[in-house]
Amino acid sequence: MAMTGVLRPGHAQLRVLDLEESVRFYTDIFGLVETGRDDSGRVYFKCHNERDHHSIILRQAERAGMDFYGFKVLDDATLAKLERDLNDYGVPTERIPAGDLLETGERVRFVAPTGHTFELYAHKSDVGDGLGYENPHVIIDGRKGISPLRMDHWQIHGSDLDGSRDLFINVLGFSLVEKIVTEDGKTDIACWLSCSNKAHDIAFVRDERDDTLHHAAYLLESWEHVLKAADLMTLYDVSVDIGPLRHGITRGTTVYAFDPSGNRFETFCGGYNFYPDMKPYIWTEDQMGTAVFYHTRELNERFLTVVT
């Protein structure tokens, strides 16, 4: 599959209530690598296997949640084209200068109909994955904690699901992979979209609470690593929402838990490969429990109600 437009989720800025407590959590328990701090006090992290400078930025705030979500695009020409396409679609954009985020080039920012702030960018410094680019080894020694491979996707909530879904498909080139529909089949309750050949890069859920985060998801290597993540969560008294178990949608295996500020995160692996010629899977509302949690076949109250 030739990827010539939006490549992948690239970064997100997360609001935390106690910055240093959160730094300790994401370093020692979650197992990310700190890559820098800027003059405004923000702290930058990447996963061990990621090569770009950062994928998560922590910011001290009075309430938890996510400030913005960034997607990396192929090059400057792609960035300029997508900015024009957004404007032609009626979406205002703002250019954020290079250097506003550490080691990151110019960004094009816009607000989706669900109220979430997104940005596109083409450049971020390559700091490598610790293996080198010549005769690399296959493992990174000394990894701490859960140590995910990469930041993988987000599930976010807002009222105008249709508007955000259509914007991502019609302008940014995403594909619809799976969705849950109401009993009459006329309304999407949730949809999973991909800009790659992953089962999803972002999910939108219909919710009256605009601009809210359900979870940020991080990829692990195997089901055994998901189980180890659950063990570590118990060892370090991390608040677990649900899991380990399997999704019906995407077929991934998962544990959901909360960071010290109450932001939900997912550690998962698996899922199927998607290609743009594939028809989307459709789940009906009466099977929503099985769609989300295939083994228990029901949704717990926290999973349905808690967002930041």
Which residues are marked as active site? 153, 200, 215, 247, 256, 266
Distance CA 299, CA 302 (A): 8
Q: What single letter denotes the amino acid at residue 161?
A: L
Strands 65-73 and 239-246: unpaired
Distance CA 271, CA 65 (A): 26
Q: What single letter denotes the amino acid at residue 187?
A: T
Q: E strand or H helix at 223, and its extent?
A: helix 223-235
CA triple 211-217-223, angle to 5 deg: 155
Distance CA 13, CA 152 (A): 14
Contact 53, 45 (CB under 8 A): no
Q: What single letter denotes the amino acid at residue 199?
A: A
Report the Cα 199 to chain-centroid distance in Å.
13
Q: What string of DSSP letters covers 100-145? A: SSTTB--EEEEE-TTS-EEEEES-B-B---SS-SSS--S--TT--S
